[in-house]
């Protein structure tokens, strides 16, 4: 189903060790509106979506995994040279005690990821509106993350991810229009 190129979708650079920023970025790793939740939501919803837009959910769901990989890379780069004292000062002491520097699917507050983050109603239009909302929430979170760092290299990657959320939201809006137009078309048998 996939062809994997051993490179990130967009380059990830960071200019300094910043465990606090890593802690905040974890929101997009294992939070309710993060990349894992989005990927699983879209790939799950595709089974009950009409054929006209099934490819869209597959494509965007797959791309969300690429974004997850970018977030993981950012967190790794922001913490790889951090001391245990720096990790503790950033509020990552409990994470370090449980996982060392390994990533774990939780949000910025340390709440573990849960499948309840994945919404699927089975009604294509309701699901697509949920997807639009998820993309807009992710866009907002990326903007707030951009605002929280002065690392221009990190901001560059975050801006890329923010813009992809905008594109995904637009594509889901187009899919809603397609399905509404199809629903309103008289069917002759």
**Selection from 67, 18, 79, 77 nearest residue 40 by Cα:** 67
Does 144 fall in a domain? Answer: yes
**Selection from 144, 124, 126, 108 nearest residue 34 by Cα:** 108
Does 155 fall in a domain? Answer: yes
Tell me the per-residue pLDDT of 72-125, one tens digit each, with 9 for 90 and over: 999 999 999 999 999 999 999 999 999 999 999 999 999 999 999 998 999 999
Q: Whole-angstrom Cα distance, residue 169 to residue 131?
A: 7
* Chain mean pLDDT for the chain: 95
Number of domains in the chain: 1
pLDDT of amino acid 24: 97
Does 8 fall in a domain? Answer: no
Instruction: Tell me, letter by letter, the H, E, C secondary structure of 11-53.
Output: CCCCCCCCHHHHHHHCHHHHCCCCHHHHHHHHHHHHHHCCHHH
Angle, helices 51-79/152-184, rounded to nearest 10 degrees: 170
Domain extent for 94: 19-108+120-180
Catalytic site includes residue 67: yes
Please count the CA atoms within 13 angstroms of the CA of 93 that sit on its side-chain side.
6
Is the predicted pLDDT of residue 183 greater than 90, yes or no?
no
Is the predicted pLDDT of residue 187 greater than 80, yes or no?
no
Catalytic site includes residue 168: yes
Does 11 fall in a domain? Answer: no
Does 188 fall in a domain? Answer: no
Contacts of 129 (CB under 8 A, 6+ apart): 176
What CATH number does residue 83 fall under? 1.20.1260.10
pLDDT of amino acid 5: 80
**Selection from 78, 51, 70, 74 nearest residue 164 by Cα:** 70
Does 58 fall in a domain? Answer: yes
Does 27 fall in a domain? Answer: yes
Catalytic site includes residue 135: yes
Which is the catalytic residue, given 27, 63, 130, 168? 168
Does 2 fall in a domain? Answer: no
Q: What 3-state class would DSSP assign to 102?
A: coil
Tell me the per-residue pLDDT of 19-53, one tens digit each, with 9 for 90 and over: 999 999 999 999 999 999 999 999 999 999 999 99
pLDDT of amino acid 134: 96
pLDDT of amino acid 4: 77
Which is the catalytic residue, given 27, 63, 130, 165? 165
Is the predicted pLDDT of residue 16 greater than 70, yes or no?
yes
Q: What 3-state class would DSSP assign to 167?
A: helix
Which is the catalytic residue, given 27, 67, 95, 130? 67
Is the predicted pLDDT of residue 189 greater than 80, yes or no?
no
């Amino acid at each position: 189903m996939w062809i994997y190129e051993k490179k990130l979708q967009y380059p990830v650079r960071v200019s300094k060790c910043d465990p606090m920023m890593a802690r905040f970025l974890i929101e997009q790793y294992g939070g309710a509106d993060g990349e894992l939740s989005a990927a699983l939501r879209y790939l799950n919803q595709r089974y009950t979506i009409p054929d006209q837009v099934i490819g869209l959910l597959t494509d965007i769901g797959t791309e969300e995994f690429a974004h997850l990989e970018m977030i993981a890379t950012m967190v790794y780069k922001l913490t790889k040279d951090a001391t245990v004292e720096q990790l503790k000062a950033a509020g990552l002491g409990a994470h370090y005690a449980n996982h060392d520097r390994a990533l774990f699917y939780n949000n910025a507050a340390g709440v573990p990821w849960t499948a309840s983050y994945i919404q699927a109603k089975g009604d294509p239009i309701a699901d697509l509106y949920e997807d639009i909302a998820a993309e807009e929430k992710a866009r907002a979170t990326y903007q707030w993350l951009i605002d929280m760092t002065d690392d221009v290299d990190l901001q560059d990657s975050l801006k890329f991810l923010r813009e992809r959320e905008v594109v995904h939201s637009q594509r889901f809006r187009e899919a809603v229009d397609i399905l509404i137009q199809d629903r309103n078309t008289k069917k002759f048998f």
